[in-house]
Amino acid sequence: MNNVLFSILIANYNNGRYLMDAIKSVYLQTYTNWEIIIIDDASIDNSHEILKQLSDDKRIKIHINEKNKGVGDTKYRLAAMAQGELFAFLDADDRLEPNALEIMTEEHRKHPECSLINSTYRSLTNDGTLSDPLFHIGPKENEPDDLLLCNGNRVDHFAVFKTNMYRLTKGADFFFFFLAEDLNMYYKMEEVGEIGFIDMPLYQYRIDNNNSISLGSEIKQKKAMYYAAAARLDAYKRRIDNKSWRCDTFRKEYEEFMLAEIKKLKDNTPRQFEWLVIKFLWMYLNFMHFNKLSLKRTLKLVSGR
């Protein structure tokens, strides 16, 4: 995997203030065989003016949505457009460390068994201050070797995919898991290869951008909790159905984990969002291969008795 093409994928919506900063961080890479693919999701700020300045660079491909389609749909299309042997998403308000592509290309070369390799990141403020993240990223001591059974940020920025292995997943379900599209993709990548980790910061994540797609209202945050649980449930069902996966080993642990997800949703969902819990339970009851005991435990958990 020497001198392979590396695709950087940027989904932009109203981040004109930061967009050129993100792109410059790619120009400054020590690894130079890259392409940038940008989809602007019908921005109404100065993003289009910024993009016009890049139109002469053949390494940069620009597409503009006539209507806003959301980050999930946009990322799905970006992944389908990637021409490189490796690809990664760069949020339009974030930056890469100068050696990010070089290190990731070498790690993927050394580890052909890995479908995805991720690193740690540094936090970035609008005044340019860089600091370490406030929570742990990557594998934890005594943690199960299975993303579905892990809590916290086991996979985060900078996540780099082998394109041919991503194609084996038939793509992530971005249209359904539109607030957990990354999580849904990570689970699928684990099912076609190993998940690698580099304990060094290769990404700069902006923490004070109110327009960030990672932030939002309370309603969006509660919906995100639901969609994250739904992505886990979908992965659980897919792994049960796929006899080549190691579900015989983790079947009991998966069921315990999903029951804990139901309790977490139930305990943390205000009354106005209870329909999300009901919807998740409907999915759970329809997806799972229940015996009488597991059904009884689920109903007891929901009723609180």
**Going residue by residue through the chain (305 aa), what tens digit of pLDDT does each one get?**
678 999 999 999 999 999 999 999 999 999 999 999 999 999 999 999 999 999 899 999 999 999 998 888 899 899 999 999 999 999 999 999 999 999 999 999 999 999 999 999 999 998 888 988 766 677 777 777 778 777 656 788 899 999 999 999 876 665 555 667 888 889 899 989 999 999 999 999 998 766 554 444 566 666 677 777 778 777 877 777 776 556 555 666 666 666 676 666 666 666 555 555 555 565 555 555 544 445 555 555 444 44
The predicted pLDDT at position 45 comes to: 92
Q: What is the pLDDT of residue 93?
A: 95
Residue 137: name the closest of 116, 161, 163, 158 by CA: 158
Give the up-direction half-sphere exposure of residue 50: CA atoms within 13 A in the CB hemisphere: 23
For CA atoms 205, 209, 211, 214, give the dihedral sign. positive
Please say whether the beta carbons of 14 and 83 come within 8 A. Answer: no
| CA–CA gap between residue 300 and residue 169 (Å, rounded) | 36
* Number of other residues whose CB lies within 10 A of the CB of residue 131: 10
Kindly give, in sequence order, each residue whose CB lies less than 8 Å from that of residue 252, ignoring residues fewer than 6 positions away. Answer: none
Residues 6+ apart with CB under 8 A from 77: 39, 63
